[in-house]
Amino acid sequence: MLYRTNKKNEVVLPALEQAAGSYQPERNREKNTGGIMAMKTLDCSGLKCPQPILKVVAFIPNMEEGDILEVVADCPSFPTDIQAWCNRTGKTLMFCMDDGTGKNSAQIQF
């Protein structure tokens, strides 16, 4: 699924679809052109440190500049690990939050 940016270069997300649980990410690689970026999802549920970060690193070839990767992980150290990785690599951590069930969701802009 492609997303566009508004005049402030903010990502326009399908918030209602995402909140309703009907959100299905695009699985195919699409070119990033003209302010449109791709949103990819990586499910790291069940993996423990350092596996979620290693999965993110392995996923990098699928990303282009401006793309957003959403990572879901239930590893307790994931929020700290992803923040440290983003700081080290210069990627933008848009947010990392716990959904209340022990799963963390983070969005990283490449």
How far apart, in whole angstroms, are the C-alpha atoms of residue 35 and residue 48? 35
* Residue 49 designated active-site: yes
With H, G, I as helix, E, B as strand and everything else as coil, classify residue 96. strand
| 28/49: higher pLDDT | 49
What pLDDT band is residue 37 in, cutting at 50, 70 and 90? Answer: confident
Among 11-15, 61-65, 82-86, which stretch is predicted with the lowest mean pLDDT?
11-15
Over residues 20-42, mean pLDDT: 59
Sign, CA dihedral 27-77-98-83, equals negative
| The pLDDT of residue 3 is above 90 | no
Tell me how far apart the 2 most distant CA atoms of the chain are, in Å: 39
Among the options 44, 49, 86, 96, which is catalytic?
Answer: 49
Mean pLDDT for 73-96 is 96
Structural domains present in the chain: 2-109 (3.30.110.40)
Q: What is the mean pLDDT of the chain?
A: 80
Report the percent of the chain where pLDDT is more than 70: 67
